[in-house]
Structure 1
């Protein structure tokens, strides 16, 4: 997995649904060998998923923490880091699958919207698995994506493809997203299911995951362009 991700030559890697297991140290060492020598991980909570971020440059812990009064799965699914060499902050997150608890999902999104409003004037990226397709009804938070765009965020939406395939029925959905502040030009965005000999996701039995890679390329604007 580390070799496959490194083959896409990113600068920063955000992994969601991450839980360190017996292979954790070997995984870290592999990332180190490919130049991703800086990493951070959200606080561990027993039986909950986490967020892991690796980069080929310095990472510093950020001060944004998820509230603890929404639901027990929320805090460990959020990680804020600062990249001082780029003057950039990243909030990596996963909205847990609250398909049967839509009230909780909407509360989670309420908090995301608050964070987005507070940080839209900073060089900032919010990205991860939002468990929300833009075509979902408002009750399932599909309208929140357009609301973020209305707030001034750029939605780095790939022009085609899907990011998630239901294991049972194989339907593709766009659940993974990146929202970019106005300080950057979005040069490209793609869902990558396969690259070379690597199968990241899709209907093939040898897929590494049920989520594709969301690869986003951004470039910092000149200050006089803001």
Structure 2
């Protein structure tokens, strides 16, 4: 199976066609799209994905949220602001798509979203599950200038037993940083975490960041791609 997590950047804007071309050509089983916006471009994204055989759900957001799409049947298990959870009907697998807000706009909101992620992680650690998306968070090890954002929450997630797929299975030819600031500092903000139960069952083929698409300005984030089998 193949999973792609991508921040659309303000819903895609004029880049929507190139984003859709990219996603269709990748032919992934699962898509987690952050900064999804339910506007004209959002409708185009949903209509195109439906034509390509995807079913989808979106988070409970009036502005920027998250869309999760799958080529496999699923049921909805969680819908909140910036969070969308599904369970694949033909697989014993849950997926939580996240788009964590930036603290610069609303620190309390960001902290609240993080607490819901940690609660979900605790409740689902003993079943096969993936938590993935744009976390807008990093430790100093994944920051070009050694600054960190919500590192304590990332540590709690790992302490619960969740596995950072990039750290454990990364493609060594792939760049670490997924987003760069205007002055050129790189940060790894995009993750795919595996529950400890899933990590024992999963054979991960490849985890990589497609930095070329960020450099081409398809988005300001590099897509995270994970290929795996049970």
| TM-score of the two chains, using structure 1 as the length reference | 0.78
Q: State how far apart, in whole Å, the 2-side matches of 1:102 and 1:23 are.
A: 28
Partner of 1:218: 228
Q: State how far apart, in whole Å, the 2-side matches of 1:188 and 1:16 are.
A: 22
Partner of 2:42: 24
Partner of 2:66: 51
Q: State how far apart, in whole Å, the 2-side matches of 1:109 and 1:11 are.
A: 26
Deviations 1:103-146 (A, max 9, x none): 55344323322211111001111111110122278983213323
Q: State how far apart, in whole Å, the 1-side matches of 2:107 and 2:58 are.
A: 27
Partner of 2:118: 113
Deviations 1:62-88 (A, max 9, x none): 1x344xxxxxxxx2x111111111221
2:94 is the alignment partner of 1:89: yes
Q: CA deviation at 1:95?
A: 1.0
Structure with max Cα Rg: 1
Partner of 1:201: 214
Partner of 2:58: 41
Q: CA deviation at 1:179?
A: 0.6
The structure 2 residue matched to 1:180, chosen from 194, 205, 210, is 194
Greater mean deviation of Cα atoms: 208-217 or 149-158: 149-158
Greater mean deviation of Cα atoms: 11-20 or 140-149: 140-149
Task: Give yes or no for contact 2:139–2:148 (8 Å, CA) kept in 1.
Answer: no
SS at match of 2:38: coil
2:164 is the alignment partner of 1:155: yes
Q: State how far apart, in whole Å, the 1-side matches of 2:118 and 2:207 are.
A: 22
SS at match of 2:104: coil
Relative contact order (alpha carbons < 8 A, sep ≥ 6): 1 or 2 greater?
2
Task: Give yes or no for contact 1:106–1:140 (8 Å, CA) kept in 2.
Answer: no
Q: Please show how residues 6-17 of structure 1 align to structure 2 within 5 Å.
A: 6-17=24-35
CA 1:172–1:138: 2 relative to 1, 3 Å: closer
SS at match of 1:122: coil
Partner of 2:16: none
2:162 is the alignment partner of 1:144: no
Q: State how far apart, in whole Å, the 2-side matches of 1:147 and 1:56 are.
A: 32
| TM-score of the two chains, using structure 2 as the length reference | 0.76
Which structure 2 segments of 5+ residues have no match?
A: 1-18
Which is richer in helix?
2
Task: Give yes or no for contact 1:94–1:128 (8 Å, CA) kept in 2.
Answer: yes
Number of aligned pairs? 198
